Amino acid sequence: MRSLLLALFLLHVCPTGEASKLHEDLSLLRTDLALRLYRSVATASNQTNLVLSPAGAFIPLELLQFGARGNTGRQLAQALGYTVHDPKVREWLRAVYAMLPSTSPGAKLELACTLYVQTGTPLAPCFMEQVSRWANSSLELANLREPNGTAMLANGWGPRQSAGDRPAGAAWERGGGAESAQLLLVSTVSFQSAWRHQFSSDTQLLPFTCAQGLALEVPMMYQMAEVNHGQFQDPAGHQVGVLELPYLGNTASLLLVLPRDRDTPLSHIEPHLTASLLHAWTASLKRARMEVFLPRFRIQNHFDLKNILYSWGVINLFDPLRANLKGISGQDGFYVSEVIHKAKIEVSEEGTKASAATALLLLKRSRIPIFKADRPFIFFLREPNTAFVFSIGRVLNPLH
């Protein structure tokens, strides 16, 4: 139903062929951008589990485009590969964001962005309107110049965040930032859902071979269900298995990419992943009844994305003398000092009922195909209708 509504919206703003082409181009562009961010972070986080949210990282940059001018705006557009000042791009993104935050039985997805503004700072009416209409965004007044003002907001991520979702606030406590701060932009992405096909409650310890060849006993979940699965080869010849596990209500699915050869590290596969390749793989998945073994894992990361964005050519945004954000208030003096991104994911049996299968039955030989994630793998949390990537990451050691 949601995909039909999106299609009708696109037909309204674009001719039929153009709407389809725009949808495909932007979906691929956003996925390639997510992969680019993943590779940039993965390179700096060698040999560690990883999760990041492309949506949480890019929505604030899109919002800043409404206030950026001159070279600052051009650098943001070049880094993202698109600009929200293009009416068709803006309306497509607005339509996607409007349909993504949804609640269905057993599933909840929310995107939110809050712009904290120093009390007394004048804001351009057109900028305020764009903020109010962008990805569940809002404006809130705050005294950011108090000694602990920015630290408190950074630690709490605002009223929408719970105590368990707090990133480190050290970046906002350094070097007198509170004295000059006038804007603080925070985005959050939250997702909770039960699996469409239930995992057994009889999770047991099974071997998992880490990247260094170390074998560990980890809690391994199990289900036997109809899933989308395929065996593919990347451009370098590496064989991979791809599995899609749907969540309840079709709100999202977890896409897993598992090297077929235990000796193939993820670092050999990551450089070859592209949006076009993932699209071809997912389009070729076949429905099959399989036994699925997946380790229980929980990952939480936070990163300073400033250096990554700087390497992408976003330079002026962070320079107090060259940043041009006049579209926000008509005044000079605004610039971005830090870009702190935090994401987490927890994959477990929680929220599902026990299945009829037992642990003793799981290890018996059968003719049913098996997908066993007992070695490092890459995962994507996606919205299946739009291929929108909420989270992307890897599991090198489920116990860390």
Which domains, ranges and CATH numbers included, belong to the chain? Answer: 2-101+107-193+299-345 (3.30.497.10), 204-296+348-395 (2.30.39.10)
Instruction: Give yes or no for a contact between 377 and 256, defined as CB atoms under 8 angstroms apart.
Output: yes
CA angle centred on 168, ends 157 and 391, rounded to 5°: 70
Q: Reply yes or no on whether the pLDDT at 338 is more than 50.
A: yes
Give residue 179's pLDDT band: very low, low, confident or very high (50, 70, 90): very low
What is the per-residue pLDDT across 285-297, written as a single tens digit (0 to 9) for each?
999 999 999 999 9
Instruction: Give yes or no for a contact between 22 and 12, defined as CB atoms under 8 angstroms apart.
Output: no
Q: What is the pLDDT of residue 9?
A: 36
Greatest alpha-carbon pair distance for the chain in Å reads 70
Q: Reply yes or no on whether the pLDDT at 43 is more than 90.
A: no
Which residues have CB under 8 Å from 148's CB, separation 6+?
A: 178
Determine the average pLDDT of the residues in 188-195.
82
Give residue 265's pLDDT band: very low, low, confident or very high (50, 70, 90): very high
Instruction: Give yes or no for a contact between 271 and 39, defined as CB atoms under 8 angstroms apart.
Output: yes
What is the per-residue pLDDT across 111-127, written as a single tens digit (0 to 9) for each?
778 888 878 888 899 99
Q: Reply yes or no on whether the pLDDT at 307 is more than 80.
A: yes
Interhelix angle 16-44/87-99, rounded to 10 degrees, is 70
Determine the average pLDDT of the residues in 339-362.
54
CA-closest candidate to residue 245, choices 260, 259, 255? 255
Measured CA to CA, the distance from residue 67 to residue 327 in angstroms comes to 4
Tokens of 86: 């293009």
The pTM assigned to this predicted structure is: 0.83
Average pLDDT in the chain? 79
What is the per-residue pLDDT across 131-177, written as a single tens digit (0 to 9) for each?
888 888 888 887 776 655 554 455 554 444 433 333 333 333 333 34
Q: What is the pLDDT of residue 16?
A: 52
For 205-217, the three-class secondary structure string (H helix, E strand, C coil) is EEEEECCCCCEEE
Q: What is the pLDDT of residue 79?
A: 96
What is the per-residue pLDDT across 85-111, written as a single tens digit (0 to 9) for each?
999 999 988 888 877 756 566 677 777
Which residues have CB under 8 Å from 46's CB, separation 6+?
A: none
Tokens of 319: 């320079």
